[in-house]
Amino acid sequence: MNLESSIQSIVKDAVSKLYALEVELAQIQIQKTRKDFKGDLTVVTFPFVKAAKKSPEATGQEIGEYLQANNGLITGFNVIKGFLNLNISKNYWLQLLNKIRSADNFGYNMDGDCEIMMVEYSSPNTNKPLHLGHIRNNLLGYSIAQIQQANGWKVVKTNIVNDRGIHICKSMLAWKLFGNGETPESSGLKGDHLVGKYYVEFDKAYKAEVKALIEKGMTEDDAKKSAPLIQQAQQMLVAWENHDPEVYALWEMMNGWVYAGFDETYKQLGVDFDKIYYESRTYLDGKAKVEEGLRNGVFYKREDGSVWADLTADGLDEKLLLRADGTSVYMTQDIGTAALRYNEYDIKKMVYVVGNEQNYHFQVLALLLDKLGFEWGKDLVHFSYGMVELPEGKMKSREGTVVDADDLISEMIDTACETARELGKLDQSSEEEIEKIARMVGLGALKYFILKVDPKKNMTFNPKESIDFNGNTGPFIQYTHARIKSVLRKVDELNIATDVPVTENLPLSDKESNLVQLLSLFPAIVREAGQEFSPAVIANYIYELVKEYNQFYHDFSILREENPELKYFRIVLSAAIADAIKKGMYLLGIDVPERM
């Protein structure tokens, strides 16, 4: 039983004895005492006022006196209006710290039933390199997978690569027309960057064609449909679906360049996958399911041969599933991929990490899967998150104005190194250590700044702000971990044994007992982050823990404390907090340095 539950039980007993009032534990509101009041936990007394036939203040006073007289856990109290602030015995916090340090894998809730949760993230197109938007997606997806695994799920991390479609053909066509045989080797460019270059080239040439047609008197809509380049790209897509040897060979070559580039970026970012699906291999399964639905009257065909789903009875609109030329749309392949996944894995929960601009898409997907007879269709989870921008504004891939993921990662590492040198934090480090720490801090800054934000919100990523070694940043947390590790190394040098329990009846300060209390919340925070699918819950908890520890570190001596038992307590507390920092940051996909 945790502390809040214990307090609920003794309050339940108190109001029963004092007022003959029987209440459910859930009706007794317990919260952490506000920082501007004295106390550890607060009981809301308003629900008991009617039975007590007294004011909220008098009711709180009476309950407080009863609790202090009848339970050794409560050593004092005060009443502010209808709020009863309780002081918890210092020995309770000492006992709790001993339990925390002896717990197996403290913080992680590994007693789950190990059912399978599949988490899909990344989902890149093979016509361009990964950019800042992909970074937020990958970091959220990877962290969600880590958090759910810490909550007892068997997690399968998966990626669906969008490697076919009209956008892919645009890059292919532009390379064929303008590339002169350029390769990653001949250009010195990563493969995904090279292919992305031709996606931009296509858009430039296409816009020029559209402009010329408009100047000749054609409407903009007709010009966009009639431009020779877009018609050639559409013909190339049909040829690809018909397995034209020349088109297919070009597609395989350029996709191979992109995959090599993606793998390098994923490795740099520190994310991985257990299973990768390719749209080029799943869209046929989707087409088969759509055709089956057509035969069964679930879908209908229009005069031009296109296949549609009529969802108006469900409050939505009509949805295209197959074009008139027989080619697939995204929805088609998503149907096929979902069916394939459930055939391959005994999935209990399927989570799609996709931006909020696709909310409607996943609403439709769940409905279509249900109509096709898949019982699990309506249980799909779309983890919808907001967009990420730079202070300069929005990004557009086709116009070449995106923030490239590789460039951003490199910039973050360089900036971290420069900032750390300026602050003198690497003065005692070798060049090899400097490189390792700069990478750890640069990536930590990037990841933490993105993950600390409520995923549902749009955000602006500010590289300079993220590298700050003070405030709610990754480097601040990483530096604190390194600071604690420095203290613990000195403990080893002094041969202080740290494998015995902390002594009880120590004169703890409020700050020390508050730190133990905050530390004890870690398992509940991990559970909450799992229930809400929110890495931000972990990030902001770790920041609060680190902020409180730094205040403690500033106000109290550890190794110079004259009371040996109190010194030992502070060493053990510091080690436990370092462990929680490392575990919490691990759930965010962030490494923490041992020295800095």
Residues 517 and 563 in one domain: yes
Residues 336 and 232 in one domain: yes
Q: What is the pLDDT of residues 52-88, one digit of tens each?
A: 999 999 999 999 999 999 998 999 999 998 899 999 9
Residues 461 and 333 in one domain: no
Q: In this structure, how many other beta carbons lie within 10 angstroms of the beta carbon of residue 109?
A: 14
Amino acid at 401: T
The answer as to whether 173 is a domain residue is yes
Q: What is the mean pLDDT of residues 423-439?
A: 80
* pLDDT, position 112: 59
Mean pLDDT lowest among 3-12, 182-191, 491-500: 491-500
The answer as to whether 413 is a domain residue is no
With contact defined as beta carbons under 8 Å apart, do 137 and 122 qualify?
yes
* pLDDT, position 395: 39
What percent of the chain shows pLDDT beyond 70?
Answer: 97
Q: What is the mean pLDDT of residues 402-419?
A: 87
Rounded-to-integer distance, Cα 473 and Cα 449, Å: 6
* pLDDT, position 396: 44
The answer as to whether 133 is a domain residue is yes
CA contacts within 13 A on the Cβ side of 12: 14
Rounded-to-integer distance, Cα 552 and Cα 558, Å: 10
With a cut of 80, say whether residue 426 has pLDDT above it.
Answer: no
Q: Any idea what the CATH number is for the domain that residue 305 is in?
A: 3.40.50.620
Q: What is the pLDDT of residues 16-57, one digit of tens each?
A: 999 999 999 988 999 989 888 999 999 999 999 999 999 999
Q: Tell me the angle at which helices 56-70 and 3-19 cross, rounded to the nearest 10 degrees.
A: 110
Q: What is the pLDDT of residues 126-149, one digit of tens each?
A: 999 999 999 999 999 999 999 999
Residues 83 and 131 in one domain: no
Position 394 confidence tier, pLDDT thresholds 50, 70, 90: very low
Rounded-to-integer distance, Cα 446 and Cα 459, Å: 13
- What kind and span of H or E run contains 253? helix 245-269
Domain count, the chain: 3
Position 330 confidence tier, pLDDT thresholds 50, 70, 90: confident
The answer as to whether 406 is a domain residue is no
Residues 125 and 84 in one domain: no
* pLDDT, position 398: 42
Q: Tell me the angle at which helices 510-520 and 564-587 cross, rounded to the nearest 10 degrees.
A: 30
DSSP structural state of residue 591: -
DSSP structural state of residue 315: T
The answer as to whether 215 is a domain residue is yes
Residues 191 and 320 in one domain: yes
Residues 72 and 154 in one domain: no
Rounded to the nearest 10 degrees, how much is the dihedral formed by the CA atoms of 306, 307, 313, 314?
-120
Output the pTM of the full model: 0.90
Rounded-to-integer distance, Cα 32 and Cα 41, Å: 5
Residues 226 and 336 in one domain: yes
Residues 466 and 340 in one domain: no
Cα torsion angle, 249, 250, 255, 258, sign: positive
Q: What is the pLDDT of residues 177-227, one digit of tens each?
A: 999 999 999 999 999 999 999 999 999 999 999 999 999 999 999 999 999
* pLDDT, position 402: 67
DSSP bridge pairs for 79 = 84
Residues 180 and 308 in one domain: yes
Q: What is the pLDDT of residues 356-389, one digit of tens each?
A: 999 999 999 999 999 998 888 888 999 999 988 8
Q: Any idea what the CATH number is for the domain that residue 53 is in?
A: 3.30.1360.70
* pLDDT, position 434: 84
* pLDDT, position 377: 87
Q: What is the pLDDT of residues 504-551, one digit of tens each?
A: 889 999 899 999 999 999 999 999 999 999 999 999 999 999 999 999
Structure tokens at 19: 């007022």
Position 8 confidence tier, pLDDT thresholds 50, 70, 90: very high
Residue 555 backbone phi and psi in degrees, to 5: -90, -25
Beta sheet of 74-80, edge-to-edge order: 30-32, 41-44, 83-88, 74-80
With contact defined as beta carbons under 8 Å apart, do 290 and 322 qualify?
yes
Residues 325 and 382 in one domain: yes
With contact defined as beta carbons under 8 Å apart, do 563 and 477 qualify?
no
* pLDDT, position 91: 93
The answer as to whether 73 is a domain residue is yes
Residues 172 and 302 in one domain: yes
Expressed as residue numbers, the domain containing 9 is 3-88
- Range 488-492 contact pairs with CB under 8 angstroms and sequence separation of 24 or more: 488/571, 488/574, 488/575, 488/578, 490/559, 491/559, 491/571
Q: Any idea what the CATH number is for the domain that residue 463 is in?
A: 1.10.730.10
The answer as to whether 93 is a domain residue is no
What percent of the chain shows pLDDT beyond 90?
Answer: 78
The answer as to whether 105 is a domain residue is no
* Mean pLDDT taken over the chain: 92
Rounded-to-integer distance, Cα 155 and Cα 52, Å: 51
